[in-house]
Amino acid sequence: MNLIPKTFRRPGFPEAEVTRLRGALENFLDHADPAESALIVEGLGPGLASHFVALSLLGRQRVSRFQSIHSFCTGSFGVLFFLAWQKGMLLLTPETVGAFNRKFRAGHNITGWRGGSHLLLRMLFGAPYMFKNDSTEEVLTYSMRPEFLHMRVSELPENVSFLTYCAEDRKLYEIRRDSPFADWSMREVARCVGALKRIYEPFRKEGKTYMDAVTDRLQLRDFFRTIRMRGRHVLSLHMVRDGIHGNTTYLKMHDTGHGKIRIMLDFLYLIHNLENRDLDEGVRVALYGVKPI
- Give the CA distances from residue 33 to residues 41, 66, 232, in Å, rounded to whole numbers and listed in that order: 18, 8, 9
Task: Classify residue 16: in a domain, yes or no.
Answer: no
Task: Classify residue 30: in a domain, yes or no.
Answer: no
Task: Classify residue 248: in a domain, yes or no.
Answer: yes
pLDDT digits (tens, 9 = 90+) for 125-166: 778 888 999 999 999 999 999 999 999 999 999 999 999 999
93 within 8 A of 101, measured Cβ to Cβ: no
Higher pLDDT, 272 or 175: 175
Q: Range of 54's domain?
A: 35-217+226-288
The DSSP output letter for 85 is H
Looking at residue 71, its amino acid is S
Task: Classify residue 14: in a domain, yes or no.
Answer: no
Residues 6+ apart with CB under 8 A from 202: 129, 133, 167, 195, 209, 210, 211
User: In the predicted model, is pLDDT for residue 115 greater than 80?
Assistant: no
Task: Classify residue 10: in a domain, yes or no.
Answer: no
pLDDT digits (tens, 9 = 90+) for 17-57: 999 999 999 999 999 999 999 999 999 888 889 999 999 99
Three-class SS of residue 249?
strand
Percentage above 90 pLDDT, the chain:
74
269 within 8 A of 10, measured Cβ to Cβ: yes
Residue 13: closest CA among 293, 276, 291:
276
Task: Classify residue 9: in a domain, yes or no.
Answer: no
| Mean pLDDT along residues 92-118 | 84
Distance CA 28, CA 35 (A): 13
pLDDT digits (tens, 9 = 90+) for 227-261: 999 889 999 999 999 999 999 999 999 988 888 89
Beta strands in 113-260 (DSSP E): 160-166, 171-175, 203-205, 208-212, 233-238, 243-245, 248-252
Task: Classify residue 274: in a domain, yes or no.
Answer: yes
How confident is the model at residue 89, as a pLDDT?
97
Distance CA 96, CA 171 (A): 40
Distance CA 144, CA 203 (A): 20
Distance CA 35, CA 8 (A): 38
For the four alpha carbons of 273, 267, 259 and 253, in that order, the dihedral sign comes to: negative
When divided into structural domains, the chain yields a total of 1
Apex 213 CA angle, 127 and 241, nearest 5: 110
Task: Classify residue 203: in a domain, yes or no.
Answer: yes
The torsion angles phi and psi of 126, rounded to 5 degrees, stand at: 95, 15
How confident is the model at residue 284, as a pLDDT?
96
Q: Is 195 exposed, middle or buried (0-12, 13-18, 19+ CB in 10 A)?
A: buried
